[in-house]
Amino acid sequence: MSISVHPRGTVFTRLVMALAQAKEGATEAAEIAQARFADSPEVGFILRAAVAAGGTGNDMAALAPYRTAVREFIELARPATIIGRIAGLRRIPFRTRVPRATSGVAAYWTGEAKPKPLSAMSVNPVVAPATKIAGIVALSDELVRFSSPSAEALVRAELLAAVTAFTDRQFIDETVAEVTDISPASILNGAPSFASAGNDADAVVADVGQCFDSVYGAFDPVSPVLICSTSTAYRLAAMRTTTGAAAFPEMTVRGGTIAGIPVIASAHVRNESGGSTLALIEASRVLLADEGDMSLDTSRQVTLQFDSVPVDGAQQGVSLWQNGLTAVRAERSIHWQRADEAAAAYVAEVGY
């Protein structure tokens, strides 16, 4: 079955809304989808298939439209995230040993009929565990019952915002350390850091230069990328030289380039004190495992802790049934790590 022609992410959003409205599981959700979303028959098909397969996260041929809808939603989310905008990341599979070179092969001069010098390449294999990002969004009963395009757009926007904000912060916040088999470290965690040289154009050049020397001390640039906050991007775009000319004419509030290096701007680039970080990453030396899949579940019969740091075993919380809410939980497997320690460097707090 093919996916209907709608704005990207519509099928996944309607799937969420049908599941959220249903009280008796996928069977009722399929009936709701058939009545509400007649122009998206694949939504009802996915939910009917889930009854036989045992859940919408199942890897079954009958749920191929579900996987298509999920990938469409993830493809919609990718350009909004830092990871999705970095070109040249090294893709690796989950739970598979991948060789990582820790020292390279050397070449030497040699004379005619002379023994050829030998060098050895050191390899340290890595394995990407199937770490998961899990998000729970509470939706009001009134919202999930609305059939208007604006209601669907609001749900879609909220889901995208939650995925984007969390993924960006976890990827770029230098304070995020690895939790074994639970979550990866930030790409900046443990990377070299520097103090900013000041707040003018010369300082920007000096800051980027410090990071550049650190990352490319022994390597040529392949896929370099700078990452900063949107507020920093604005100030870089507005920065002027002493003659009044734009210091970085290729910059905009959305990013751009500095000295030919692509710049990615995100509102979620913040350091521990709330200031802005400027980071340089060599994308070809960053490993990324991401199969582009997501599992989905809903419930209204639970009590939730409305806290980003929930306490295991806590007895107090908010009753969804009592407050007319439905919780939507989405889980996505993704993992990243630096291929070597020199793959990234950053200026911890910039004044521009």
- For residue range 82-124, list pLDDT tens digits in order: 999 999 999 999 888 877 666 666 787 888 878 877 776 666 7
* pLDDT score for 308: 47
Rounded CA-CA distance 205/195 in Å is 13
* pLDDT score for 53: 46
At residue 258, the 3 state secondary structure works out as strand
| pLDDT greater at residue 262 or residue 332 | 262
Q: Quick check: 325 pLDDT over 60?
A: yes
**Residue 267 has which token pair?**
């509102």
For residue 4, CA distances in Å to 43, 162, 293 come to 10, 25, 20
**Apex 294 CA angle, 293 and 298, nearest 5:** 165
For residue 345, CA distances in Å to 169, 180, 184, 193, 261 come to 17, 23, 18, 6, 14
Amino acid in the structure at residue 325: L
| pLDDT greater at residue 317 or residue 173 | 173
Helix axis angle, 10-21 relative to 26-36, nearest 10°? 120
* pLDDT score for 202: 95
* pLDDT score for 129: 87
Rounded CA-CA distance 261/253 in Å is 16
164-185: average pLDDT: 90
**Residue 228 has which token pair?**
């900063």
pLDDT tens figures, 270-308: 766 667 899 999 999 999 998 777 776 666 655 654 444
**Apex 267 CA angle, 87 and 79, nearest 5:** 35
At residue 273, the 3 state secondary structure works out as coil
Instruction: Specify the pTM.
Output: 0.74
Q: Quick check: 4 pLDDT over 60?
A: no
pLDDT tens figures, 34-61: 888 888 888 888 887 765 544 444 444 5
* β-bridge mates for residue 337, sequence order: 287
* pLDDT score for 177: 94
pLDDT tens figures, 228-276: 999 999 999 999 999 999 999 999 999 999 999 999 999 888 766 667 8
Name the range with the highest mean pLDDT among 52-56, 62-66, 171-175.
171-175
| pLDDT greater at residue 16 or residue 297 | 16
* pLDDT score for 133: 81
Strand stretches in 73-176, DSSP E: 90-91, 97-98, 101-103, 122-123, 126-127, 132-140
pLDDT > 70 in the chain, percent: 79
* pLDDT score for 194: 96
* pLDDT score for 69: 79
* pLDDT score for 306: 47
Q: Quick check: 189 pLDDT over 90?
A: yes
Burial of 291 (0-12, 13-18, 19+ CB in 10 A): middle
* pLDDT score for 152: 76
Q: Nearest-CA neighbor of 285 among 86, 71, 4?
A: 86
Tell me the average pLDDT of the chain.
81
| pLDDT greater at residue 147 or residue 260 | 260
* pLDDT score for 145: 74
299 membership: H or E segment, kind and range: strand 295-299
* pLDDT score for 301: 59
At residue 101, the 3 state secondary structure works out as strand
Helix axis angle, 64-77 relative to 149-172, nearest 10°? 70
Amino acid in the structure at residue 172: I
| pLDDT greater at residue 7 or residue 234 | 234
